[in-house]
Amino acid sequence: MDILSIIFIGIIGLVFGSFMNVLIMRVPKNISIVKPSSFCPQCMEDIAWKDNIPVISYILLKGRCRHCKKTIPIMYPMTEILTALLFVVIYLKFGLTLLFFKYVIFIFLVLTVSLTDIYTSADENFETGMIPTVYIALGILAGLIFGLIEGFFAYYLAGIAAGYLILFFPAYLYSKIRHKEGMGEGDFMFFAMIGAFTGLGSIAAVLTFAAFFGIVAGIIVIIITKDKNYPIPFAPMLGVSAIIYVFFEELLNSYNWSSFIIN
Ligand SMILES: [Zn+2]
């Protein structure tokens, strides 16, 4: 594993992160991801290729659109850098193996879904956060194909069912008791997709972490907004937890998480 291959994986990660920005901005609004080519969402001017190089263009343009001089959201370079970092960490952990390709696809989908949910939750054009079904379908399919290759198809199939049901039942009870929705179908589907990649054994640990992050995020949001009913999207909590799980799987499996949840 030499430095050149690490840099190469990092650049691939930046390019995928740039593509992810396009997906996050366009898919929820049903805009084609190929046409038109990149444009500034504020002045609608086309962005030339030289102004569209991941991270570098942002720095050269000092974070402003060349035409209208309005600020380019910092989320664009941040998403690119985050994707690149995670790709490199997966490469360092797994080398150029089957698991590398599996987890690169996994991380890409998890980040795309989590960020889409966050941005649509914050966007007043959307009533709630949105999780496009196309990512879930692709993810479940990819997860099962890798499961088939690994020879543990049933284990991942069970992961899909467990991920879905473990959120469905408490959400169903909550909606019956409180007469409002706590979590949505998108969250159940997303957890099912995570289960397709990480398998049945991951569900309890991922849920424990997600619940913990949810509580921490909830407390922070209440302190900042002073609004106890401010909606917090749950998918990003699941996403962060799933990524942590992939990186620390061996460590986590040495502890029996299911007993922690049931007790
Ligand atoms: Zn502009």
pLDDT at 218: 87
For residue 126, the CA-to-ligand 1 centroid distance in Å is 23
pLDDT at 260: 54
pLDDT tens readout for residues 55-76: 999 999 999 999 999 999 999 9
Query: What is the spatial distance between Cα 254 and Cα 176, in angstroms, rounded to a whole number?
Result: 37
* Residue percentage of the chain with pLDDT more than 90: 66
For residue 41, the CA-to-ligand 1 centroid distance in Å is 7
- Of the candidates 55, 62, 61, 56, which has an alpha carbon nearest to the alpha carbon of residue 78? 55
Query: What is the spatial distance between Cα 101 and Cα 156, in angstroms, rounded to a whole number?
Result: 17
- Of the candidates 143, 137, 136, 177, which has an alpha carbon nearest to the alpha carbon of residue 159? 143
**Looking up tokens 């889409």, which residue turns up?**
116
Peptide bond into 36 cis (omega under 30): yes
Collapsed DSSP state (helix, strand, coil) of residue 71: strand
Residue 203: pLDDT over 80: yes
- Going from the C-alpha of 161 to that of each of 109, 165, 190, 192, the distances in angstroms are 19, 6, 11, 6
**Least confidently predicted of 58-62, 156-160, 194-198, 229-233:** 229-233
For residue 60, the CA-to-ligand 1 centroid distance in Å is 15
Residue 262: pLDDT over 60: no
Asked if residue 204 lies in contact with residue 261, where contact means CB atoms within 8 angstroms, the answer is yes
Confidence at 170, pLDDT banded by 50, 70, 90? confident
For residue 47, the CA-to-ligand 1 centroid distance in Å is 8
For residue 49, the CA-to-ligand 1 centroid distance in Å is 15
Confidence at 258, pLDDT banded by 50, 70, 90? low
